[in-house]
A and B are shown apart, each in its own frame.
Chain A
Amino acid sequence: MEPKNKITGAEAILLSLIKENVDVIFGYPGGAIMPLYDKLFDKNNELKHILVRHEQGAAHAAQAYAQVTGKTGVCFATSGPGATNLLTGITNANLDSIPVVFITAQVPSSLLGTDAFQETDMVSLSMPVTKWNCQVTCADEIPDAIAKAFFFATTGRPGPVLIDVTKDAQNELFEYSYKKIKSIRSYCIKPELNDKDINDAIQLIQISKKPLLFAGHGILLGNATNELKNFIAKTKIPTAVTLLGKTTVSEDDTAYVGMLGMHGNYAPNILTNEADLIIAAGMRFDDRVTGDINRYAKKAKIIHIDIDKAELNKNVKADLAIHADIKCFFNEITASLNYLSDEKWRNEFYVLHEKEEDKVIKKECFPEIGKIRAGEVIRLLSDKTGRDAIVVTDVGQNQMMGARYYQFKNPNSLITSGGLGTMGFGLPAAVGAQVGQPDKTVLLFTGDGGFQMTSQELGTIFQYNLPVKIIIFNNNFLGMVRQWQQLFNDRRYAETNMPTPDFPMMAKAFGIEGCVVSERENLNKTLDTMLKHNGPYLLEVKIEKEANVFPMIYPGKAVDEIILEN
C-alpha cells in the first residue's frame, strides 16, 4: 500500500510540468521511461502527449511549438538511443535559443557507469548543446530540478535544458511539494539598463547621418516587437532583419529594408558598408550575416544591445556595447530620443531595392516562361493566405526562398532552422507549429532532400489529423549544395542528384491527400485546392532543376560585394 501523502518521482514530474503551465508534450516511450508514461496514462486531461515517429522529430516539434506559442516546449525520450536521437534537435534549439525542457530517462542508478542496456551518458553528451542540464537519481531531487530547468530555459537568453532521470528515481515514493523558482544567485535574468548607456546611444544616433538598425531574433525572444515598432515609427531609421529576426517587423512597414546576409536583400547588405551607425538589436553578427568580417561595416559606429553579455564584442567590436533587455532598451530610448532619419538616406535603399526587384525578384516571383519557380509559388501563397500563415521551412534553397518571398507580417510566423541549418527540421517543426496554433494555416516549404530526412513524421500528421500544408519543391537535387557546385566547383554535381519517390503517393500511404503540379497554368488552381482542403495536404511542385538563389554574397566576400546574378 502506498502511503497516502506520497507519490512517485514519475508522477511528480508530471505534476511539476502542470505547475509550469505545460499542456503539450512531444515524445516517444521506451524501457527506462515506462514509469513516466504509465503515470501519463492517467493525466490525459491535463497533459496532451504527441507521439512522434522519431525522437529528433519530437525535439524539433517541441521547439516549433515553443516558438509559435511563446510557451516552453517539453520533450520526453527514453534512455540510450531515444536520448541520443534527440541530440540534433537539442543542438538546433540551442543555436536558435529556444526554451525547451528535455526529459530523458536513464537506467536505474545502481547500474550507472556499468554499460547497462541502453545506458548512455546523456548528461555529458548534451552538455555542449544545452544551456543547463542535470541528472536526477532520487525522487526528492525532482521538483527542484524541474523548477530550475524551467527557470533557466525561459529567462535571460532562453535555451534548451535537459534533465536525465534514472528509472529508480521515477519509481521512488516521496513527499511531493512544488514551488517555482523566483531567483538564482548565480544567474542574472535581467541586466540593469543604465542611463549612461542610453545617453551614449542617443548621442551616437543624433550625430549619425546614415543609421541602420539590425533587428534580430532577440527581439522576438524578448517580446519586444511593439517596442521596436514604436522606435522605428518615431525615428524612421531603416531597419534590416536577420533570418531569425525576419518577423520582428511587418514587411510593409516603411522603415523595413529587407533581410541581411548571404541570401538576404541587396540594399541592406550593400548599405551596411555605407552606414555611419549600426544599431544591432538582439542579433549576434553570425558569419552568414557579416561575410568577410575584415571588410564589414568599417564606416559605422556600432551600438550592440544584447541580453547575453558573451555576444557583445564576440564577432564584431562594438563602440557601445549595451548589456540589457531589449524591451527595456527600446522603451527607454524611444522615450528620450528625438531623431528622424534623413530621407535621402532612406531613399538609397529604395533605389537599390529597385535593382533587386528588376534583376531577381521579378524573375523569381513573376516568371512567364520556363518551369515553375519556388519564388512564384511562395508569393502566390503569401497573397492567398493574406500573409497570415505560419511558414515553416526546411533547409536549403527552399528555406531562403521561403524567407525571401513570403511577405511576413506577424511576429513568430517564420519557423526555420537558423544557427544549425538542420535538414529534416521542416516536417516535424510543422507538426509542432500546427499543434501550437491549431487554427492557423501552417505552410511547410521543404526540399525533396530535406523532406526525406524526417518524412516519417507524416505518420504523426496523420495520427493527429494536423492540417499542415506541405509544399515540396522538387528539383531532383540537393539544390543548395548543387548551387555551390555550379558556382564554385565547375558544375561537378558530386552526389547531389537524386531520384525522388512519388511524394503524393507516399502521403496517400499515410492517409494524406496530395498531388503534383508541374505546369504553371495549373498552379493557381492547385494551390487553391490545397488551401481549401480540410486536413493535411502534400503538394509536390516540380520546379526548375538548376534554379539558383540570388542575390548572394559569395563565401569570403564582403557584404557590399553581394551579387544579383551569376
Chain B
Amino acid sequence: MEKELYTITAFSENHIGLLNRITIIFTRRHLNIESLTVSSTEMKGIHRFTIVVEASLDLIERVTNQIEKLPEVLRAAWYVNDDIVYREIALYKIPINYAIDRNIEQVLREYNARLVDIQNDFVIIEKTGHVEDTEKLYDVLKPYKILQFVRSGRISISKHKKELATYLSELPINEYIKE
C-alpha cells in the first residue's frame, strides 16, 4: 500500500505517561512521527494530540485503533490533508540592520507574515501556514541572515460538520464515577 501523510487526532485525559504510551505505538511499528502537538482543549482536563505521520492507510487505521484502545484515550481519528484545515506556525529571528536595509515591509506584505517583536539588534517575524509556505518564506529571508528559525507541529481542524470535538461537549464532567 502507498504511503501518504495522515493526521491523527486524539483526545485524552491529562495523565502522566500517556504521551509515552502513544509514542510507543508508533515506535513499535517503526513509524517516524513527522510532527506532534499536545495541548489542552476547551474542556478542562482533556488534552488533544495532533500527530502527523507518513504511512500506509492500512497501518494508519491500525495505529489509530491502538491509540483509541488506550483506556485513558477518549477518541482517536485519522484524516488525510483534504479532510482538514491545518497550520504550522514559524518564527524567524533576523538582525535588525538587515531588516532595515532590505525593505522587510514588502516581504511581510507579500508573504502575509507579521513582525511580532523588535529588539535592539534583531526582529522576530511570524508566519502561519503549511510547511511549504513557511519554508518558502525561509528561503526568501535567507539573505537577511536568519539568526534562528523555529516551526511548530501541526494543528488541525476537521472540515466535517460533526467534528470529534463536538463530542467533547457531550462528555460527562467527571473523569470517573464511583459506586
Question: Which A residues fall within an 8 A CB radius of B?
Answer: 123-124, 127-128, 131-135, 147-148, 151-152, 156, 179-187, 308-310, 312-314
Contacts and interface: CB of A to CB of B under 8 A. Distances in A.
B71 A182 contact: no
Given A186-B13, A187-B72, A181 B176 contact: yes
Contact of B172 (A135, A152, A181, A185): A185
Given A147-B178, A182-B176, A310-B62, 13 more contacts: A127-B20, A127-B24, A128-B28, A148-B176, A151-B176, A180-B178, A181-B177, A181-B179, A184-B71, A185-B174, A186-B71, A186-B175, A313-B61
B104 to A, nearest CB: 46
B21 interface: yes
Contacts of A127: 17, 20-21, 24
A308 B62 CA distance: 12
Interface in B29-83: 61-62, 65-66, 68-69, 71-74
Given A128-B24, A132-B71, A152-B71, A184 B16 contact: no
A309 B65 contact: yes
B72 A132 contact: yes
A185 B62 contact: no
Nearest to A313: B61
Contacts of A314: 62, 65
B9 to A, nearest CB: 15
Contact of B178 (A123, A156, A179, A308): A179
Interface in B140-179: 171-172, 174-179
A133 B17 CA distance: 9
B109 interface: no
Residue from the set A133, A152, A184, A309 with the largest chain B CB neighbour count within 10 Å: A184
Given A134-B16, A186-B72, A186-B73, A310 B66 contact: yes
A133 B62 CA distance: 22
A135 B174 contact: no
A132 B17 CA distance: 10
A187 B172 CA distance: 12
A174 B106 CA distance: 65
A151 B74 CA distance: 16
A312 to B, nearest CB: 8
Given A148-B176, A182-B178, A309 B68 contact: yes
A132 B178 CA distance: 19
Contacts of B175: 184-186
A308 B61 CA distance: 14
Chain A: interface secondary structure? mixed
B55 to A, nearest CB: 15
Nearest to B11: A186
Given A147-B178, A183-B177, A135 B16 contact: yes
Task: Name the 10 nearest CB pairs between A and B, nearest first.
Answer: A179-B178, A310-B65, A184-B176, A310-B69, A186-B74, A180-B179, A187-B71, A185-B172, A182-B179, A182-B177
Interface residues of B, number: 27
A185 B176 contact: yes
Nearest to B74: A186
A182 B65 CA distance: 24
Contacts of A156: 71
17 contacts: A127-B17, A127-B20, A132-B71, A135-B16, A148-B176, A151-B176, A180-B179, A181-B179, A183-B176, A185-B171, A186-B72, A186-B73, A186-B74, A186-B175, A309-B68, A310-B65, A312-B65
Contacts of B73: 186
A499 B72 CA distance: 50
B178 A181 contact: yes
Given A127-B21, A185-B74, A309 B69 contact: yes
Contacts of B178: 147, 179-182
A294 to B, nearest CB: 14
A387 B103 CA distance: 90
B134 interface: no
B12 interface: yes
Contacts of A184: 71, 175-177
Nearest to B176: A184
A187 B72 CA distance: 7
Contacts of B68: 309-310
Contacts of A128: 24, 28
B34 to A, nearest CB: 22
A104 to B, nearest CB: 15
B14 to A, nearest CB: 11
B179 A186 contact: no
Contacts of A134: 15-17
B94 to A, nearest CB: 39
A152 B68 CA distance: 15
A415 B85 CA distance: 52
Nearest to B172: A185
Contacts of B62: 310, 313-314
A311 B134 CA distance: 40
A183 B12 CA distance: 16
Nearest to A133: B17
Nearest to A312: B65
Contacts of A312: 65
Contacts of A180: 178-179
Nearest to A315: B62
Interface string B1-27: 000000000001101110011001000
B137 to A, nearest CB: 39
A133 B69 CA distance: 14
B177 to A, nearest CB: 5
Contact of B20 (A124, A152, A310, A313): A124
A156 B178 CA distance: 17
Nearest to A144: B176
A148 B74 CA distance: 16
A134 B16 CA distance: 8
B4 to A, nearest CB: 19
A127 B15 CA distance: 13
Nearest to B17: A123
A310 B71 CA distance: 12
Residue from the set A134, A151, A183, A312 with the largest chain B CB neighbour count within 10 Å: A183
Contact of B71 (A131, A135, A313): A131
A394 to B, nearest CB: 28
A469 B89 CA distance: 68
A251 to B, nearest CB: 33
Contacts of B12: 186
A308 B68 CA distance: 10
A514 B61 CA distance: 54
B70 to A, nearest CB: 8
A134 B17 CA distance: 8
Residue from the set B21, B61, B69 with the largest chain A CB neighbour count within 10 Å: B69
A313 B172 CA distance: 30
